[in-house]
Amino acid sequence: MTQTATGRPPRYGWVFAAVWLFYLGGNVQALLDQPDMYWRVAGLTSVAAFAAGYLFLVARVRHIRRGVRPPRHVVRTWLGIALLLALFALQVPGAGDHSLTCLVYIAALAMVNLPLAQAAPLAVVLFAGAEIAPRVVDGWADGGYGLAVLLGSLATYGIRMAGERQRRLMAAQQELSDRAVADERARIAADLHDILGHSLTVVTVKAELAQRLLDFDIEKARKELSDLEALARDALSDVRTTAMGVRGISLPGEIAVAREALTAANIEAELPGAADEVPTRNRELFAWTIREAVTNVVRHSGARHVRVQLTPDCVEIVDDGVGGSCSGGQGLPGLRRRAEGLGGRLIAGAREDAPGFRVRVEVPA
The structural domains of the chain, with segments of one domain joined by +, span: 13-175, 267-365
Q: Give strand pairing partners of 163.
A: none
The CATH number of the structural domain formed by 267-365 is: 3.30.565.10
Whether 281 has a pLDDT exceeding 70, the answer reads yes
120-126 contacts: CB < 8 A, separation 24 or more? 122/81, 123/149, 123/150, 123/153
Whether 91 has a pLDDT exceeding 70, the answer reads yes
Measured distance CA(96)–CA(61) in Å, rounded: 31
With cut-offs at 50, 70 and 90, classify the pLDDT of residue 351. confident
> 11-44: per-residue pLDDT in tens?
555 566 777 788 888 888 888 888 889 988 998 9
- Please state, rounded to an integer, the average pLDDT across all residues of the chain: 81
With cut-offs at 50, 70 and 90, classify the pLDDT of residue 338. confident
More confident residue, 129 or 243: 129
Measured distance CA(121)–CA(67) in Å, rounded: 20
Interval 224-253 mean pLDDT: 69
348-354 contacts: CB < 8 A, separation 24 or more? 350/323, 350/326, 351/318, 354/320
> 163-215: per-residue pLDDT in tens?
788 878 887 778 877 887 787 677 667 666 666 666 677 778 878 888 888 88
Whether 6 has a pLDDT exceeding 50, the answer reads no
- For 76, residues 6+ apart whose C-beta sits below 8 A from its C-beta are 60
Interval 211-234 mean pLDDT: 80
Measured distance CA(244)–CA(175) in Å, rounded: 23
With cut-offs at 50, 70 and 90, classify the pLDDT of residue 45. very high
> 130-145: per-residue pLDDT in tens?
999 998 888 888 888 8
Whether 237 has a pLDDT exceeding 80, the answer reads no
